[in-house]
A and B are shown apart, each in its own frame.
Chain A
Amino acid sequence: MTTDAAGIEAVFRAEYGRAVSVLIRLLGDIDLAEEAVQDAFTTAVAKWPETGTPPSPAGWIITTARNRAVDRLRRESSREARHAEAVRLHAPDEPAEEGPVRDDRLRLIFTCCHPALAPQAQVALTLRLLGGLTTPQIARAFLVPEATMAQRIVRAKAKIRDAGIPYRIPRDADLPDRVDGVLAVVYLVFNEGYGGRADLCTEAVRLGRLLVELMPDEPEALGLLALMLLIEARRPARTSGDGDLVLLADQDRSRWDRGLIAEGQDLVRRCLRRNRPGPYQIQAAVNAVHSDAPTAAATDWDQIRRLYDQLMALAPSPVVALNRAVAVAETEGPGTALALVEDLDLAGYPAFHAVRADLLRRLGRTGEAVEAYDAAVALTESAPERAHLERVRAALAKS
């Protein structure tokens, strides 16, 4: 079997994070690990089309990266320390990993989410090292200039190295301090994947499961996993046969993944029983209500509205207010909802313009609705979402 560029790219997306985290454990140096893994993929691009894909692409990448790192260390320095390093790299592998605590990616995420790093740097570094996203991609996701993001990542890596931030999962006593940052980052990885890269969603769900195993008493970890599973369950129905985006209200609910829904709903019940509600648990509950409804018309919007009230009390933000307004539109009409939306400071957020456009459309204010759709289209990065918005806008402009 031969491999084309697309095949190698698929391997890159699936295995980059694992390869980098293993190499960081071996080398103790983030930059060296990244270079070695990138070298290995460059070699794969040259070799695999001729030799075919190796039986274990991930294993091949890690072995090749390790050999590259050894070569590089030998070449770049004659110091004894470097030789010692090379010897260490040739040592036989550690015994098979068991349990979540041995997972290299989890270790890496706790390193990236160390409280001594700025929150934005935590997310950027996780997406870079674990998701294999390029700096321009991360910059786009966070609406900051590329140079700013590049500097943020370089500084964070330098701090990990110079300050001696350890590459390990913290002890039980430290976990509560770290968990908020880690959960936020896993959810951001999931969201980044929601826009198109299914592999990032899979990775986020996998990390979510590890976190639940690691912190069985943390209801927010359960809540986050439930939230991701319930959203992921709708993936098969989110796009039509020709790749167009299908909104929640129009989705063919028979295509939802019943297994994931059952698992997600069970988790929601489990975490809510602890009676320590947090933002992830409430958002998971909102999604559980959606997945309970046999049809869009049967959705219990009153309950969703109440859940958003609770979320606004617990963790208010303009984005939460926007989501609450969507529920208000269903319970009290688009006019009331529009009044709530107009004052929100979200001009750079595509969903704000999309929600506003929909409310204006429902109120018959067509001209303003078209303008709002234009604003949403201009800001949306995801191609299917943009195509959807353009379609609705075109239909509206004609009417």
Chain B
Amino acid sequence: MKYYLLSVMQPQGEPPAPEIMQEIMHNLEVFHTELREAGAWVFAGGLNGPETATVLRARDGDVLVTDGPYTESKEYLGGICLIKAPDLDAALTWGRKATLATTLPIEVRPFMHEADDR
């Protein structure tokens, strides 16, 4: 089994209307339940917006603390979902469900090493 990271790519701007949001949250819950039941679940969570980010940088042995996201862009990382899957096709199957549930683009990336199932 490999670890795959499903990243939710969120656009800048207002969140959807409450009733739409409610449906998305429900679909996400269904998706997470399915992941758990399949034994593919590791961790998932939404992130607060990029305006809440703080960046730390090494500077000559000292650390510089600055406000704000590391990069400014139209889309940002809105949340992550870490899963275990035997191969990319299996990870993409979960990715499909994730994009349908969130209505947002999902980036699927493999971790460098196999998952340790113990």
Q: Which residues of A contact B (CB under 8 A)?
A: 114, 116, 162-166, 170, 174
Contact = CB atoms under 8 A, between A and B. Distances in A.
B112 A170 contact: no
B87 A165 contact: yes
A174 B86 CA distance: 17
9 contacts: A116-B88, A162-B112, A164-B85, A164-B87, A164-B88, A164-B91, A164-B110, A166-B88, A166-B89
Contacts of A174: 89
A217 B61 CA distance: 66
If over half of B's interface residues share one DSSP class (helix, strand or loop), that class is named, otherwise mixed; here it is: mixed
Given A116-B88, A164-B2, 18 more contacts: A114-B88, A116-B92, A162-B112, A163-B88, A163-B109, A164-B85, A164-B86, A164-B87, A164-B88, A164-B91, A164-B110, A165-B87, A165-B89, A166-B87, A166-B88, A166-B89, A170-B89, A174-B89
Looking at chain B, what size class is its interface with the partner chain?
10 to 19
Interface in B90-116: 91-92, 109-110, 112
Interface of B: 2, 85-89, 91-92, 109-110, 112
Contacts of B2: 164
Most buried by A among B91, B109, B110: B110
Contacts of B89: 165-166, 170, 174
6 smallest A-B Cβ distances: which pairs?
A: A164-B87, A166-B87, A163-B88, A163-B110, A164-B88, A165-B88
Most buried by A among B2, B87, B88: B88
Contacts of B92: 116
A116 B89 CA distance: 9
Contacts of B87: 164-166
A81 B112 CA distance: 18
A166 B90 CA distance: 9
A116 B87 CA distance: 12
A174 B96 CA distance: 13
A169 to B, nearest CB: 11
Contacts of A162: 110, 112
Nearest to B112: A162
Nearest to B1: A164
Nearest to B91: A164
A165 B110 CA distance: 10
A269 to B, nearest CB: 36
A115 B92 CA distance: 11
Contacts of A114: 88
B2 to A, nearest CB: 5
Nearest to B114: A164
A174 to B, nearest CB: 8
Nearest to A116: B88
A116 B106 CA distance: 13
A50 to B, nearest CB: 45
A147 B2 CA distance: 32
A175 to B, nearest CB: 13
Contacts of B109: 163
Contacts of B110: 162-164
Contacts of A166: 87-89
